[in-house]
Chains A and B, each alone.
Chain A
């Protein structure tokens, strides 16, 4: 009887799992015991009440307002806001650039495809942090003083003190102007798409006419309100620039590095997606007499998108995680704030838990979105 128990697969499975659970519980309680002893010995305070005490350390730049008398909690929020700000800008720029890189690599143009190939190979094989430090080195040692600042585009100045760009200035009526322009544009587009079009006008013409009408109305509104929105250009006054927007060398280096690095990966994902679409789709569409551009946008890209989106989301997620490398050049994103808080309070466990919690939340919500998207797309597959 015992031998039959000994050879019972079910019993063995349950015994193995019970042993594993016991092992995990023992391990965790051992860690918890150690931690409690260590914390007591070193006299480190625990608990999250430090969150509401004033932080008393400066944060060099932030997208939300901060001053050192704000609480530690607010310092974390500032760090998170900077992280998200970096992520959004880098993702948008990298996607646009990556689209060009991917299309350039696929193009039949010999120079362009080779240039794009060199770009992708070089950037993908060098660690991001090396690239960031390199750009930071360029921005802080090779850029000239503000007097001799480089000017790659009108109004954009690169100098050792940072990057200066034109900024948007809003008159009191500015917000009203921008909002009404946006609403008018949406209305015009909806009208052009939904309104039954006269058969004599082709759709692109209709769109062009609607857009032109919108532009005329917007310009009239612009004049009527008396220049509600303006561009303020940075100007050299004395030793430094005044006016416009200033990007610190840290911010500029990170955005440049993250964008360029990510664009190489995005380019490869887009190229892979387009190449994965069956060649028969191109041939079939050509046989039907569609133009190359219509084949690309109406036949190939919609199918490629289904292949592109999952790896692209993964890439976006790793871009968000990669913003933590900004620590290396000293831009105050969440990782750097966490590091500073640990130095200030000694409450390492709580502070690192905050960081891990934030990133886990972001990762898991993206994972949930991806599962939803895959399920939706899977239904379309025939």
Chain B
């Protein structure tokens, strides 16, 4: 309610004050503190130089015999010689095209499912088929493929399969646990809480011990699950507990009105969960979900402790070749590089998704 005849002085819109960018020299040596920090940073960079010297300048990329690697400097020729062992483990050399096919298939499937627009039930079915094809490719025994027991599987395909399968199997389990934890029924809630907190309270190494050593004692004599299957079970349960907590966060962030509206419309519980609750809840927690995915990719490397032959174990066994002089650092750096590429790729993708979601939310 403005008084009639009042005079308003409108302020002309103004641009924000111009702040001149400092010249680099001033930022770097402007005052005492920044000068000190610059010197510290340069000292750190200088202390890395001997490492670069070892890794690049003094390195041996190509040697005629392992003995040439004796005189210090990184021995990258070792990686070249052992690449097959590190990548494929003890998989029969004549059949290694199958392992390559599995790696390519996983990469292709991941590339094909990057766009959130394609996330639907059909994609799930394609993934299930693809994983079945991968297992048949690795194991063989039908369609003219030679049978390869899981004890001979190894290297990168095992790492990738463990990561994809444990996350894929854990996800539905995690949804059930998260829903159970939010359930009004006391028995269901307490069982879910107990499972989640028990698993999250234990180190993964402990669970792997249980799977590798205890599980054969707990199951009837006739049931033999091979070691790969047992470690996969441990990884799955571990992932499920952590994913469940992430999904619970998403459920908590969901507006109650969504559920009330669905109930008012008479939509059955599971339909409501599938079509209304989960799509929104999961969209809210994409960053922590991808974070858990990174953690699980890294965790697959722990299977080394119970003697499953993943990429890291393969690298370790490669370093025991007495013909080469002490090449373990190079081997682990190579494995580290592969893990880094996978995990950094996932985190870049997560950042991209996050931007996309927030762009849609803000119009």
Across-interface contacts of A124 in B (CB, < 8 A): 343
1/0 contact string of B188-201 vs chain A (CB within 8 Å): 10010000011011
Residues of chain A within 8 A (CB-CB) of B327 are 141
Binding stretch for chain B, among A186-194, A212-220, A317-325: A317-325
> Do A127 and B299 touch (CB < 8 A)?
yes
Closest 10 CB pairs of A and B: A137-B328, A141-B326, A363-B201, A321-B203, A125-B343, A127-B298, A134-B332, A17-B187, A111-B41, A324-B205
Determine if B302 is an interface residue (Cβ-Cβ < 8 Å).
yes
How distant is the Cα of A134 from the Cα of B334 in the complex, in angstroms?
Answer: 10
Contact of B205 among A127, A134, A327 (CB under 8 A): A327
B residues near A24, Cβ cutoff 8 Å: 191
Residues of A with C-beta under 8 A to B316? 133
Task: Specify which chain B residues have a CB less than 8 angstroms from the CB of A359 in the assembled complex.
Answer: 201-203, 206
Q: Interface size of A by Cβ–Cβ distance < 8 Å?
A: 58
With a cutoff of 8 Å between Cβ atoms, the chain A residues found around residue B40 in the complex are 112
Residues of chain A lying within 8 A (CB to CB) of residue B186: 17
> Is the CB–CB distance between A335 and B205 below 8 Å?
yes
- List of B residues within 8 angstroms of A324 by Cβ: 203, 205-206
Interface membership of A231, Cβ < 8 A = no
- B125 on the A face (CB < 8 A): no
Query: Is there an interface contact between A349 and B217, defined as CB atoms closer than 8 Å?
Result: yes
**A36: nearest chain-B partner, CB-CB:** B217
Q: Which one, A102-110, A196-204, A277-285, is touching chain B? A: A102-110
Judging by beta carbons under 8 Å apart, are A130 and B336 in contact?
A: yes
Considering the complex, give the chain B residue whose CB is closest to the CB of A323. Answer: B203
Query: Closest A-chain residue to B312, C-beta based?
Result: A130
Determine whether the beta carbon of B201 is less than 8 Å from that of A352. no
Contact of A17 among B185, B218, B340 (CB under 8 A): B185
Asked whether, in the complex, the Cβ of B344 is within 8 Å of the Cβ of A121, the reply is yes
Whether A31 sits at the interface, judged by CB under 8 Å, is yes
Known: A111-B38, A129-B304, A137-B328. 20 other contacts (CB 8 A): A17-B185, A17-B188, A37-B221, A111-B37, A126-B336, A126-B339, A126-B343, A129-B301, A130-B332, A140-B328, A141-B329, A142-B54, A142-B326, A321-B203, A324-B206, A327-B305, A349-B214, A352-B214, A360-B198, A360-B202
At the interface, yes or no: A328 with Cβ under 8 Å from chain B?
yes
Q: Mark B277-310, 1 if CB is under 8 A from A, else 0.
A: 0000000000000000010001101101100000
A127 to B340, CA, bound (A): 8
Which residue of chain B has its CB nearest to the CB of A139?
A: B329
Q: Which residues of B contact A138 (CB under 8 A)?
A: 329
B107 CB-CB contact with A under 8 Å: no
Question: How long is the Cα–Cα vector from A343 to B221 in the complex, in angstroms?
Answer: 21
Given A34, A136, A321, which contacts B219 in the complex, CB threshold below 8 Å?
Answer: A34
Cα–Cα, bound, A328→B184 (Å): 44
Interface size for chain B: under 10, 10 to 19, 20 to 34, or 35 or more residues?
Answer: 35 or more
Q: What string of 1s and 0s marks CB contacts (under 8 Å) between A11-48 and chain B?
A: 00100110011001000000100110111010000000
User: Does chain B have a CB within 8 A of A69?
Assistant: no
B299 touching A348, Cβ below 8 Å: no
Neighbouring B residues of A126 by C-beta, 8 Å? 298, 336, 339-340, 343
Asked if residues A20 and B188 are in contact (CB atoms below 8 Å), the reply is: yes
Contacts of A363 in B (CB 8 A): 200-202
- Cα of A355 to Cα of B207 in the assembled complex, Å: 10
Q: Counting CB contacts under 8 A, is B127 at the interface?
A: no
Of B185, B188, B216, B329, most buried by chain A (CB within 10 Å of CB) is B329
- CB neighbours (8 Å) of A127 from chain B are 298-299, 301-302, 312, 336, 339
- Docked-complex contact A108 and B27, CB < 8 angstroms: yes
Within 8 A of B (CB), among A204-263: none
Q: Which of A322, A324, A338, A355 has the most CB of B within 10 A?
A: A324
**Interface check A131, CB cutoff 8 A:** yes
Q: Mark B4-17, 1 if CB is under 8 A from A, else 0.
A: 00000000000000
Tell me if B220 counts as interface (CB < 8 A to partner A).
yes
Contact partner of B329 among A35, A37, A134, CB < 8 A? A134
Nearest neighbor of B198 in chain A, beta-carbon distance: A360
Kindly list chain B residues whose C-beta atoms are within 8 Å of the C-beta of A122. 340
CA of A360 to CA of B200, assembled, Å: 9
State the CA gap A342–B217 with chains docked (Å).
Answer: 13
Count of chain A to chain B residue pairs whose CB atoms are closer than 8 Å in the complex: 163
Chain A min CB distance to B41 (Å): 4
The yes or no answer to B106 lying at the interface (CB within 8 A) is: no
Residues of B within 8 A of A34 (CB): 217-220
Pick the most buried of A38, A39, A136, A137: most chain B CB atoms within 10 A of its CB.
Answer: A137
Please judge, given known A-B contacts A122-B340, A328-B304, A352-B213, whether A115 and B41 are in contact too, CB under 8 Å.
yes
Q: Does B34 contact A (CB under 8 A)?
A: yes
Is there an interface contact between A125 and B344, defined as CB atoms closer than 8 Å? Answer: yes
* A interface footprint on B86-115 (CB within 8 Å = 1, 0 otherwise): 000000000000000000000000000000
A183 within 8 A of B: no
Structural contact, B305 and A328, CB atoms closer than 8 A = yes
Does B126 interact with chain A (Cβ within 8 Å)? no
Name the residue on B nearest A119 (C-beta): B44
Q: Are B218 and A35 in contact (CB under 8 A)?
A: yes
Write the chain A residue with the least CB distance to B305.
A327
State A17–B354 Cα separation when bound (angstroms).
39
C-alpha gap A258/B43 in the complex (Å)? 24
For residue A128, give the distance in angstroms from its CB to the closest CB of chain B: 7
A21: chain B residues at CB < 8 Å are 187
21 example contacts (A-B, Cβ-Cβ < 8 A) are as follows A13-B185, A17-B185, A17-B186, A39-B217, A109-B37, A110-B24, A122-B340, A125-B340, A125-B344, A126-B298, A127-B312, A127-B339, A133-B312, A141-B326, A322-B203, A324-B203, A348-B214, A352-B206, A356-B202, A360-B198, A363-B201
The reply on A339 being an interface residue by CB < 8 A is yes
B333 at the interface (CB under 8 A from A): yes
Closest to B345 in A: A125
Residues from chain A with a CB closer than 8 A to the CB of B27 are 108-110
Q: Find chain B residues with CB under 8 A from A348 CB.
A: 213-214, 217
User: Which residues of the other chain, B, contact A364 by a CB distance below 8 angstroms?
Assistant: 197, 201
**Chain B hits for A142, CB < 8 A:** 54, 326, 329
Distance between Cα atoms of A118 and B299 in the complex (Å): 22
- When the two chains form their complex, are residues B44 and A115 in contact, meaning their CB atoms are under 8 A apart? yes
**Within the complex, what minimum Cβ distance (angstroms) separates B321 from chain A?**
13
B350 beta carbon closer than 8 Å to chain A: no
Closest-by-CB residue of B relative to A110 is B27
B329 closest partner in A (C-beta) = A137
Asked whether, in the complex, the Cβ of A325 is within 8 Å of the Cβ of B187, the reply is no
Partner of A109 from B28, B204, B339 at Cβ < 8 Å: B28
Would you give the shortest CB distance from B21 to chain A, in whole angstroms? 12
